A = this chain, B = another copy of it.
Amino acid sequence: MAARPGGHNLAVMNGPKEKVLTLDTMNACVKRVEYAVRGPIVLRALELEQELRQGVKKPFTEVIRANIGDAHAMGQKPITFLRQVLALCVHPDLLNSPDFPEDAKRRAESILQACGGHSLGAYSNSSGIQPIREHVAQYIQRRDGGIPADPNNIFLSTGASDAIVTVLKLLVAGEGRCRTGVLIPIPQYPLYSAALAELNAVQVDYYLDEDRAWALDVAELRRALCQARGHCRPRALCIINPGNPTGQVQTRECIEAVIRFAFEEQLFLMADEVYQDNVYAEGSQFHSFKKVLMEMGPPYSTQQELASFHSISKGYMGECGLRGGYVEVVNMDPAVQQQMQKMMSVRLCPPLPGQAVLDMVVSPPEPSDPSFTQFQALTEKVFNAVPGIRCNPVQGAMYSFPRIELPPRAIQRAKELGLAPDMFFCLRLLEETGICVVPGSGFGQREGTYHFRMTILPAAEKLRPLLEKLSQFHAKFTREYS
């Protein structure tokens, strides 16, 4: 060890020094990232929960976390079949137990068969367990009325977020006016703005039309694109369907128009379809971008690049905590696809429990299997549209994004506090009622409009008083500042 003699004393003499890593010296792109779904509101909710536990008196007895679409946290019970199979995979001694149905055992055995050392504790291939990729392909094919899907185009991931960031990462290039621009909806799910900020790409906003139930209009896409072309190179278009936080479900005509637009304008399409199983409004139906693209025929079906994302966190299963998902790529340059594979391999593999549950989600038990009735039970659950303060019908996803009017004095007060007006409203709401929702400013909204996002997942007996409390608070807040 060639330590410099006297080094120790020298260091001591120098006295307290600057840290290596400070707000001034850290990655500026990271500093620009914002993520409202888990921002200051949620940190304050955590503190309030702690205070309640310590016996501090509040005007409420519990914090209701309506800020995030987390089905299990809201009391939804996991699907028995999923959990039986997962328990069998985790602890194969249970394969000898008479308490588990035969189809669950068969399923667990087939998953373990595909694992290194027959254990969920071994790494899988970086793109996921091969038979599960095949099951995902079969699922997509069934969903899309027989249009084929290639397992080699399917990459399993740590939730959809992981795959979305990986694809964005591939797309980001250039400097200055040649920087990659990515079109995203406003309001958006803030993963997009956060990832683009971190990757130093240009966020190009297109606005959804609140007056037409948050519809997507191609004229607005064109406006956004033209305006962006002056200062960046737009290369990708992100669609969230069903919408988050806006809950709209796109029509087939709309999807066709978007695909034609992307094709003409040379944009890589990213379709965030994680809420595809959460469509419940009368007359609304989910159409996958892949299916519409393929049915449009050449040149679209043979040339238009598309990545479609799905997740086990939503739908009827709501297994957020297991972090499972996948991306299917269509018409991607094979050399780029290899690069994507490489990027995924650096992080070794997606968590195996999430992969196992994805396997069950994409190939649920057949009607003849003993578990079928139990498995279907929760999928028949009916969600109610939320009577918001001023709110579009919720066609899909699991959120309501109501618009709220705020009195000018409240807006003024918020400005004095250095807060967005709807953040001010949401913080006050949390303090006084324990209800945790996310301000619309975290998702983006038209200048001068204010919203919040809340999940519609709480059980009926909780949702009703929650909505009443919220309405009462809004009335009180409005009185206070008028």
Task: State A266–B348 Cα separation when bound (angstroms).
Answer: 32
Instruction: Please pick, from B1, B42, B120, the residue contacting A322 in the complex, using a CB distance under 8 A.
Output: B120
Which among A12, A16, A87 has the highest number of chain B CB atoms within 10 Å? Answer: A87
Chain B nearest CB, measured from A64 CB (Å):
12
Among A273-281, A338-346, A424-432, which stretch is in contact with chain B? A338-346
Q: Does A463 contact B (CB under 8 A)?
A: no
- The one of B33, B222, B320 that contacts A123, using a Cβ cutoff of 8 Å: B320
State the CA gap A379–B218 with chains docked (Å): 62
Contact residues in B for A116 (Cβ distance below 8 Å): 65, 70, 72-73, 321
* Measured CA separation A76–B11 after assembly (Å): 48
Q: By the criterion CB–CB under 8 Å, are A20 and B353 in contact? A: no
A426 CB to nearest chain B CB (Å): 17
A339 lies within 8 A of B23 (CB): yes
* B1, B71, B86, B194: the one within 8 Å of A254 (CB): B1
Q: How far, in whole Å, are A105 and B74 apart by their CA atoms in the complex?
A: 24
A264 near B7 with CB under 8 A, answer: yes
- B residues near A336, Cβ cutoff 8 Å: 19, 21-23, 26
Q: At the interface, yes or no: A244 with Cβ under 8 Å from chain B?
A: no
Cβ contacts A108-130/B at 8 Å (1 or 0 each): 00000001110111111110000
Task: Provide the bound-state CA to CA distance between A299 and B346, in Å.
Answer: 37
Does the CB pair A159–B257 fall under 8 Å?
Answer: no
For A256-267 the 0/1 string (1 means CB < 8 A from B) is 110011011011
Partner of A73, one of B15, B117, B339: B117
B-facing mask of A6-44, CB < 8 A → 1, else 0? 011011101111111111011110110101011100100
A401 within 8 A of B: no
Check A150 for interface membership: any CB of B closer than 8 A.
Answer: no
Total count of chain A residues near the partner, CB < 8 A: 127
1/0 per position for A213-253, CB-CB distance to B under 8 A? 00001110010000000000001100000000000000001
Complex Cα–Cα for A190 and B349 (A): 15
Partner of A235, one of B4, B20, B343: B20
Question: Of all chain B residues, which has the CB nearest A79?
Answer: B121
Contacts of A121 in B (CB 8 A): 71-72, 78, 317-322
**Inside 8 A of A17's CB, which chain B residues have their CB?**
266, 299, 303
In the complex, besides A27-B173, A121-B322, A195-B346, 9 extra interface pairs with C-beta distance below 8 angstroms are A20-B236, A20-B266, A23-B335, A33-B343, A33-B346, A39-B342, A159-B348, A320-B349, A321-B349
User: Can you list 10 residue pairs at the A/B interface with Cβ under 8 Å?
Assistant: A11-B300, A12-B299, A20-B266, A27-B169, A30-B169, A35-B346, A73-B119, A78-B119, A121-B321, A158-B347
* A-to-B contact residues, CB < 8 Å: 1-4, 7-8, 10-12, 14-23, 25-28, 30-31, 33, 35, 37-39, 42, 46, 65, 68, 70-78, 80, 83-84, 86-87, 90-91, 93-94, 97, 99, 115-117, 119-126, 158-159, 161-162, 165, 169-173, 190-191, 194-195, 198, 217-219, 222, 235-236, 253-254, 256-257, 260-261, 263-264, 266-268, 298-300, 303, 305, 317-323, 331-333, 335-336, 339, 342-343, 345-354
Please name the 3 residue pairs, one residue from A and one from B, whose CB atoms are nearest each other, closest first. Answer: A73-B116, A2-B219, A87-B91
